Amino acid sequence: MDEIGKDNGIKCTCEQLIAVMKTRGAEGAAKVEKLFGDASTLAVDYLKSSTTEGLSGDADGIAERKRLFGVNVIPEPEAKSFLRLMWEAMQDLTLIILMFAAGISLILGLTIEIESNGWIEGVAILASVIVVVLVTAFNDYTKEKQFRGLKNRIKEEQKFSVIRGGTVQQINVAEIVVGDIAQVKYGDLLPADGIVIQSNDLKTDESSLTGESDLIKKGPNNIMLLSGTHVMEGSGKMVVTAVGINSQSGIIFTLMSGKRDMADQPHIDDDDEDDDLRIEDDTLSGNGEIDIEKPEKKKRLKEKSVLQGKLNKLAILIGKVGLCIAILSLVVLIVRFCIEIYAIKQLPWEASHSRRFLSFVIIAITVIVVAVPEGLPLAVTISLAYSVKKMMLDNNLVRHLDACETMGNATAICSDKTGTLTTNRMTVVSSYLGKKLYTHDPVVNDLSTDYIEILCEGIATNSSYTSKIMPPPPENPDQLPGQVGNKTECALLGFVKNFDRDYDDYRKKVTEEHFLKVYTFNSVRKSMSTVIPKGSGCRIYTKGASEIILKKCSSIVDSDGVVHDFSGNERGNLIKSVVEKMASNGLRTIGLAYKEIMNYNSVNWDDEDSIIDNLTCIGVVGIEDPVRPEVPSAIKQCQSAGIVVRMVTGDNVETAKSIALKCGIISEDDGFIVIEGKDFNKRIRDKNNKISLHRLSKLLPKIRVLARSSPEDKYTLVKGLIQSKSIQDVVAVTGDGTNDGPALKVADVGFAMGIAGTDVAKEASDIILTDDNFRSIVKAVMWGRNVYDSISKFLQFQLSVNVTAVVTAFVGSATIQASPLKAVQLLWVNLIMDTFASLALATELPSPDLLNRKPYGRHKALISRTMTKNIIGHCLYQLTVLFLIIFYGEVLFDIKEGRENETQHSITPTKHFTMVFNTFVQMQIFNEINARKIHGERNVLQGILKNPIFLIIFFGTVFVQVILVEVGGIAFHCLPLDLDLWLWCIFFGVGELVWGAVLSYIPSYKLPKSWRFGTKPVEYPISEPDSVHDNRARLLWLRGLSRLQAQIRVINAFRSSLNDRRSSTHVALGRRSTYGHIHTHNCVESTV
């Protein structure tokens, strides 16, 4: 890496560039000047690139640069081996206790009871534990492999703009090399380190490095651009100076993973090792106000995903109940044995009694194993993983797994207009030029050459040079020209062609390097201005929201290029007759203006308000962005599904209202309001100018369209919908801009636009819409509801198994001093209801019928009255059948009574209790069919043939059960059953279907409301990195590794589920838990 390229003329080393990039601010600029002269000299003379043409792009040259300076890839840690996953699966406490007890049983069987084959039970339990470990490890291995594939897909889709061979190209970030000239713009997340060559009002967010929340302006005195930081304003060019493990993010990664000599790296205070990153967030004050303007730093409570919060509470409760019953069973067994043996029979202690006590412990442990709902996290993981894979086919790229099921609970969607509800294919269809209104293409002969020059030059130069019109491919000349970059600017560039002008000619005359000043577009300005030289003076071109631009105009130019005064009355008439008319037809109106300055040397460019004032109006254009043809029907689906759709847009009220009517968001005289951002703020603030939650709660239900909104307005709207006690919506939000980040983060589910969205928006989102289409959101709702239902199906099934098995074990312990279901048998049952049932019930495909019911929301019961009815009903049926067989089996089926054998804890199996085990399993297998329907449907077989996984598992379980009964022998405590006994077992199993049909006729609404469980959402303290004031630079710098985190967050969420499943008390995948808690001791895991 220290060898200087001799053949290609490169004159600097990788180590020199790394040393330079470690400096900041003026010190960095001085070091660059000392070593290389300036950034342009570094690029041209030392790195043999060109500031205008970039690298040539030849394969040999690129390969040589990769050899000298490294590749822009941060290596991943090795995937966990299957053996390691097995080891981790064996860390489960219940399995450890079982293995310990089985080991003791094995020792006793091989020493004290060797003649009676007492060792077989210990071997059988160990074998069962091994099977459970193998299945768990296989599941973990398969899922991790799947999510690595998902991460690789995300990585492959990351592109960045560089100049090669004189043309701007979008290349994969992994192909960026040192010496590349990269174009950076608003919203980018920098994939490599670089030095600024040219900047236009360029500002970056480096809070992840310095802890400073203020944006850092890049210019002559601050030229370092660092990988992992965000471009928040402006645009520019940089020469890439460090990539991969040599970039700032790469150095931190290698430091944390131990791959770089720790002595060469800055020290990280060990005391901060376990500190969590905290956020600054707005909080509700005690008097019901929301202060979003002066947030205070504190840890706040934020709800986990709706379903998982309730599942966590339920899992803890079931675990506690199971533990209590297990302890009670153990006490009953020990006390009864001691009284009978030592008090009544007055027998002395014998070595064989140790096996009896050990068997009591094993029974208690197996009760816990069955009672604890270990399958819940697995069912959640399988269902989410399956849905994520399928949702990718529906243009939903899921970054946070729990966002899937949260979408199923969504009660409100706040959608952008451009690109989501509309096609984002913009064209100018109306214009006001030369003081004349054109409702079609303007007549070129009506306008003088001078006027056309001002108009076209202003459009061409006062726009991002990355916005371009691409000609149709030669093989398809009838195809529409491609629009690259900002679509509004592309519409204006296409408009230039109407005047037989080429916008590229103007850009070649006035390159970006010639710009004197650029005021880039942002949500505050709602305009963009570019200053270009004109002799000893300069000209300012401005474009933006028409009413804002017109208010700053004091003159107007006519078709001959003559400037006239522009009075307030004329401005008002123009707005009313032109702007509002265009807007009422759904057009976005853009104002165009300019200003001449005689001597730019005397201008204070920081005084923007006085500079961008007294403008001369060139005209107004109306841009059409047609509504996507599929959107009205998709919105109608949402409304029938009980989801309120709101549109949040930067367009004016008339444009927004017109589009909302076309989409079906509102209708004439429906009573809902379309409100502008300023009015919205006035109506929700009190006399102290604080946002009142009371006022907000009264206004929000009426709002359907928020026009001319700022990011703060959008954030307030979303937060109000979530926090208002009278509303408490589950809110999904779409966003594409950098400033949409706060709203995307605070929303329950944030959707970023995959095509038009900035990297910052994607980083803040939960799901990326790869086609920017609202219809894909509706598909996400359908998948989310399917996930919720799949987990509820599994929950209903597992609780039925749990209750029946635990009650049977407890009653058996109290009556016959033994569990009718042996430890090894219960492990098989546990395998059925954990792994196999998870796969069978969590892989049902969604149906359109899911959109015909209202959303669950935050307060819908996790276990509904219908589910409770089914759980209790099926448990009663199963317990009745089992107790009949246990206590009267010898009478009913003419078999030898086996209770005495069980009481004596003989290892010799009997047909009596083999039938108990087989009947129990058969009832669970057929009850699995009942569990497919949880809303009271009577036809539980509907759609069963469409789920091959369910059918395979159903028949596979039956087959394995036959093998266990017929050849399991002493190991599974079974004797082969006669055909008539098999038929009775299957008869009782099929009876589950008949009994389920009977239960479906009991009306759930007549049952008491106390039969519902989980109506209240659970809150958990979490922290989310947002705007952080913290000087732990190295820890905070990890936030800057957003590219890497975006690729692996899904894996971390999955790993979280694995860890939680092993603790058996937490349901996994807490929303953004990986995102908010970064510890130095697990950095290798969390930054891949």
Q: Which residues are catalytic?
A: 416
Cα R_g (the chain), whole angstroms: 35
- E-strand ranges in 363-460 read 396-398, 412-415, 427-433, 436-438
How many beta carbons lie within 10 A of that of residue 46, not counting itself? 21
User: CA separation (Å) from 491 to 485, 589, 594, 998?
Assistant: 11, 12, 19, 64
User: CA separation (Å) from 1069 to 405, 651, 901?
Assistant: 11, 38, 47
Beta bridge partners of 438: 431
CB of 258 closer than 8 Å to CB of 267: no
Q: CA–CA separation, 724 vs 290, rounded Å?
A: 11
Q: CA–CA separation, 951 vs 960, rounded Å?
A: 14
User: CA separation (Å) from 154 to 189, 750, 767, 971, 1046?
Assistant: 15, 17, 12, 48, 8
Contacts of 773 (CB under 8 A, 6+ apart): 395, 420, 628, 630
Beta bridge partners of 813: none
Q: CA–CA separation, 346 vs 1078, rounded Å?
A: 62
Q: CA–CA separation, 489 vs 467, rounded Å?
A: 7
Q: CA–CA separation, 474 vs 497, rounded Å?
A: 20
Question: Collapsing DSSP states into helix, strand and coil, what is residue 575?
Answer: helix
Max distance between CA atoms of the chain, in angstroms, equals 121
CB of 619 closer than 8 Å to CB of 592: yes
Q: How many CA atoms lie within 13 A of 585 on its CB side?
A: 15
CB of 181 closer than 8 Å to CB of 197: yes
The three-state DSSP-derived secondary structure of 115-159 is HHCCHHHHHHHHHHHHHHHHHHHHHHHHHHHHHHHHHHHHHHCCE
How many beta carbons lie within 10 A of that of residue 286, not counting itself? 6
Q: CA–CA separation, 346 vs 182, rounded Å?
A: 90
Residues comprising the chain, all counted: 1088
Residue 191 backbone phi and psi in degrees, to 5: -90, -5
Which residue's entry shows tokens 């601050």? 222
Which tokens sit at 663?
């989409």
CB of 773 closer than 8 Å to CB of 400: no
Q: CA–CA separation, 226 vs 192, rounded Å?
A: 7
Question: Collapsing DSSP states into helix, strand and coil, what is residue 216?
Answer: strand
Contacts of 828 (CB under 8 A, 6+ apart): 128, 921, 964, 972
CA 779, 781, 783, 789 dihedral sign is: negative
CB of 894 closer than 8 Å to CB of 911: no
Q: CA–CA separation, 1028 vs 1036, rounded Å?
A: 8
For 419: left if phi > 0, alpha if psi spans -120 to 50, otherwise beta; the answer is: left
Q: CA–CA separation, 727 vs 860, rounded Å?
A: 14
